[in-house]
Structure 1
Amino acid sequence: MLSLQEISDRLEIQDLLVRYAHAVDTEQWDLLDDVFTPDAHVDYSAMGGSAGDLTETKKFLAQVMPNFPAFQHLVANSSVTVDGDTATARTICHNPMLVPGQDGAKTLMLCGLWYLDTLVRVDGAWRIAQRVEEKSYMFLVEGTSA
């Protein structure tokens, strides 16, 4: 049976994961300061992105994400293990993205991945200390109209 503290921790971690998706999908990069620890390591390389600290990650996202006319991050099915003030999580992310093409044509890129997170409690709040993406699939649907 889960303790009330563990139930609370799991809900707070799920909320943190949703706040990450919201920050990226609304291109509010400074919101990531409340998602990650200041010394976090973020590795997006499995899906072709950057790997580095939070500052480098925010710069990467600010440069890359505006190139896509539309995108969403759906996070679900988190497997969370809490051990005091540390935790690990494996979370599915479904990330459809429109890729601009010639003459207004768009391609739909479907990205499926897992976020492998190491989390820590900092001043009573959960933060991601390390995030590594694990690729499941990347699929292109040509000639999408949207």
Structure 2
Amino acid sequence: MDTQEIGDRLEIIALLARYTHAIDTGQWDLLDEVFCQDAVIDYSSSGGIRGSRDEVKGWLAQVLAHWPARLHLVGAAHIDFLDGTQARVSAPFTDTLAPTREMVAARTEGFLHGGGWYHHLMLRTPDGWRSTELVEEQSWRTAR
């Protein structure tokens, strides 16, 4: 592995962290630093929408307002470089969506827990690596 590939892998991993940070903190404009403007984002496996970056930003802001406490954890990413400008990236995730940021009993209704895979097609741009496509593969989900 040469220094370019090491740098690319680190940048892609940082991009995945930026994605979860944007979702968990509700900083929707940070998604502009994760996705290309013409990216297609597909959350249909979890009952969500498939749309453009801007459509998905609006949808996330509306839907996730019901769960103000959110935490996504992304596991080790599998990165396949297709050429010098594209990469396929798959990373396992788990998430917890909570109806409040207050301390509540574990049996409180409104919690969602889930997991699966994030599959990205990444593109090297003048601004660094960006996702041109995200397909969420929901493997499991529990609700209380």
Q: TM-score when scaled to structure 1?
A: 0.88
The number of equivalent residue pairs is 137
Alignment of 1:1-146 (within 5 A): 2-82=1-81, 83-99=83-99, 105-140=108-143, 142=144
Instruction: Identify the structure with the greater strand proportion.
Output: 1
Aligned-partner residue type, residue 141 of structure 2 = M
Q: Secondary structure at the match of 1:77?
A: coil
Q: Which moved more, 1:77-86 or 1:126-135?
A: 77-86
Q: Secondary structure at the match of 2:111?
A: strand
Q: Secondary structure at the match of 1:84?
A: coil
Q: Which moved more, 1:104-113 or 1:125-134?
A: 104-113
| 1:71 Cα offset (Å) | 1.3
Contact 1:98–1:106 (CA under 8 A) maintained in structure 2: no
Q: TM-score when scaled to structure 2?
A: 0.90
| 1:124 Cα offset (Å) | 4.8
Q: Secondary structure at the match of 2:10?
A: helix
- What is the root-mean-square deviation of aligned Cα atoms in Å? 1.5
In the superposition, relative to structure 1, how do residues 28 and 69 fare at CA in structure 2: closer, same or farther (>3 Å)?
Answer: closer
Segments of structure 2 that go 5 or more residues without pairing to the other structure are none
**What percent identity do the matched residue pairs reach?**
41
Q: Distance in 1 between matches of 2:142 and 2:37?
A: 33
Q: Distance in 1 between matches of 2:31 and 2:11?
A: 16
Segments of structure 1 that go 5 or more residues without pairing to the other structure are none
Q: Distance in 2 between matches of 1:20 and 1:4?
A: 24
